[in-house]
Structure 1
Amino acid sequence: MKRRREHTKSWLLLTAPIAVLVTFAAGGELLFDVFRGDSPYFVAQAIGQDIVTLVVALPALMIGAVLAARGSDRARLVWFGVLVYLVYTYVIYAFHVRFNPLFLVYVALLGFSLYALIGGLATTDFERIKARHTRERSAKTAGTFLLVVSILFYIVWLGEVIPALFSGDVPRSVADNGTPTSGVHVLDMAWILPALAMTGLWLRRKRAVGYALAGALLTFLALLALAIVFMVVSMALYGQAASVVPAAIFGLLGAASLWMLLRYMGGMKAG
């Protein structure tokens, strides 16, 4: 047990270079004109997301790492969730943002975040986290919530992609962003939505791994929803076509995810 916790702390040390790189990436994009040839629609979204990454995700990552190093399992789950958010974000930046002076920063951020997430999960005692959770009802509710979110977003994304495939057109979101495909569609349907569904099922079946992944994915959902709200606001401020409907929907999703996360964490014993 002690050796496993020491190995986990070694992965937590990657938080330091990640924090520096996030400051350069998100801060550099906000202060300097680094986007070269990207569509104004995409750039406006990126600016909104960078604000959330710098002001919310970065402090959450650092505080989570410090408290996790002191033995807090709740903080460890939040740390995992921020890492999922960073991997998700910088896959898109590394592959969809046109080559710019921050390219190597994006690549390094993706690498550090991905390996910190893998290493942290590999050295986590899932049974310990399950044993600390004392409210089965909140766990089952969280599992149902993750399943429902997964199903709803599959319906939404497939409802956009399948008609485009049959008509031979490009989905509107892809055309607006000026990218070859939608990184959001790829990451959601290939990674995030299956992860939400599997975690929801594992949690309802009381499998130990589900108890750890649920806290991480609820953190991720809250962060991503907040980022999308800021994207819509940024688009409006920069004169891009923006609808209040997506902002309202994701605002509700973010509030629901945060409430579910707090309720879920409240069911865990401190430590």
Structure 2
Amino acid sequence: MKYKRTISLLIGCIIILSVFASLVGIFSNAGSGVRQIESFRGETIKIYGKGLYSNDSVAVAAQGIAQDIITVALGIPLIIVSLYRALKDSLRGRLLLTGTLGYFLYTYISYVFLWMYNPMFIVYVMLISASFFAFTLLMMSFDIKNLSSLFNKKLPVKFLGGFQIFFAAALWLLWMGKIIPTITNGAVPVGLEHYTTLVIQGLDLGFIVPIALLSGVLLIKRKPFGYLLSSVIIMKGFTMGAALTAMIISQYIAGVSMGIIEIIMFPMFSLVIFYCMILLLKNINGKGYA
């Protein structure tokens, strides 16, 4: 694997910083607790009022704590194991590491641009930077032309590619269903609370939807780049799916009202993505370098 030393150093920083930020998010508890405020839009918002996320709404704080737990319990072990395997030039390890880095990049972009400012802000910025450069270097390390030859010809590309296309369409419909009414009637998006804009929806519509659509089409056509993009979106989708499921459970416990579509859709997709990941990993040839 090219850039081994640089990638290892960056990932070391990611591990240290994300463990620190996540533990602070999980265990910090100072504050008076839940209180209500009125936003400048006139909406009554329940503020969490404790710990690192004291200025966030109850809904977003519940999501943040759930994501921190998944980062420590799943993200960190995955990045360590996949780095170890990647340093031994395992293609499975490199693909898993790339997808896991996508999880860390997406996670801390959302923390910087969505969460209310808190003392971990500069740590989140450092995590974005380290994740971005490690992800970029790892993507550059693949020999795209030879990548497809390292996958079993029995890999069900139509199923994997079709699911990605379906997922892209479903996610687009879900978020556009939230956005379009605000364009036609000038209303504020449901769930915006005291935040300024729809960060998650922007990330998903700007990056996840087009990448999933493109990777699905390219994989069905068995194009070399389709194998890499599909591996990244599926690996990243596995970790993000676990985080989203944990967020839904956390919000339910916190008494946050959620749409039935989101409650059903995200855990269901998480299970399918997990199955897709198993299929993908099983159909990588035992040895090979790309």
* 1:7 CA displacement: 2.3
Q: Specify which of 68, 75, 78 is matched with residue 50 of structure 1.
A: 68
Q: Corresponding residue for 1:99? A: 117
* Residue of structure 2 in register with 1:212 after alignment: 228
Is 1:135 the counterpart of 2:131? The answer is: no
Aligned residues: 265
Please say if residues 226 and 254 of structure 1, whose CA atoms lie closer than 8 Å, have aligned partners that are also in contact: yes
**2:243 equivalent to 1:227:** yes
Aligned to 1:267: 283
| Distance of 1:17 and 1:125 partners within structure 2 | 26
Contact 1:226 1:250 in 2 (8 A): no
In structure 1, what is the Cα distance between the partners aligned to 2:265 and 2:16? 33
The one-letter amino acid of 1:11's match is I
CA RMSD of aligned residues (A): 1.6
- Segments of 5+ residues of structure 1 without an aligned counterpart are none
Q: Deviations over 1:146-189 (max 9, x none)?
A: 111001111111111011111111111323xx311111110011
Range 7-16 or range 29-38, more displaced: 7-16
> How far, CA to CA, are the matches of 1:12 and 1:147 in structure 2?
33
Q: Which amino acid aligns with 2:7?
A: W
Is contact 1:173-1:182 (8 Å) kept?
no
Distance in 2 (alpha carbons) for counterparts of 1:164 and 1:242: 19
**Distance in 1, Cα, partners of 2:225 & 2:154:** 15
TM-score scaled by length of structure 2: 0.87
Distance 2:155 2:255 in 1: 46
The CA deviation at 1:136 is 4.5
Show structure 1 runs of 4+ deviating over 6 A.
none
Deviation string, structure 1 residues 88-125 (Cα, Å, up to 9, x no partner): 11111111222211111100000000111111101211
Asked if 1:181 is matched to 2:177, the reply is no
Higher helix share: 1
Is the CA contact 1:139–1:264 (under 8 Å) kept in the aligned structure 2? no
Residues 36 and 99 of structure 1 are in contact (CA less than 8 Å); yes or no, is this contact kept in structure 2? Answer: no
Q: Distance in 2 between matches of 1:40 and 1:57?
A: 24
The residue identity in structure 1 corresponding to 2:251 is M
Shift of 1:242: 4.2
Whichever residue aligns with residue 27 of structure 1, its letter is L
Whole-Å Cα distance in 1 between the matches of residues 107 and 188 of structure 2?
Answer: 23
Structure 2 gap ranges (5+): 29-50
Distance (whole Å) between structure 1 residues aligned to residue 236 and residue 178 of structure 2: 23
After TM superposition, the score normalised by the length of structure 1 is 0.92
CA radius of gyration, larger in: 2
**In the alignment, which of 53, 56, 80 is matched to residue 35 of structure 1?**
53
- After superposition, the Cα gap between the structure-2 partners of 1:138 and 1:12, relative to the gap in structure 1 and judged at 3 Å, is farther
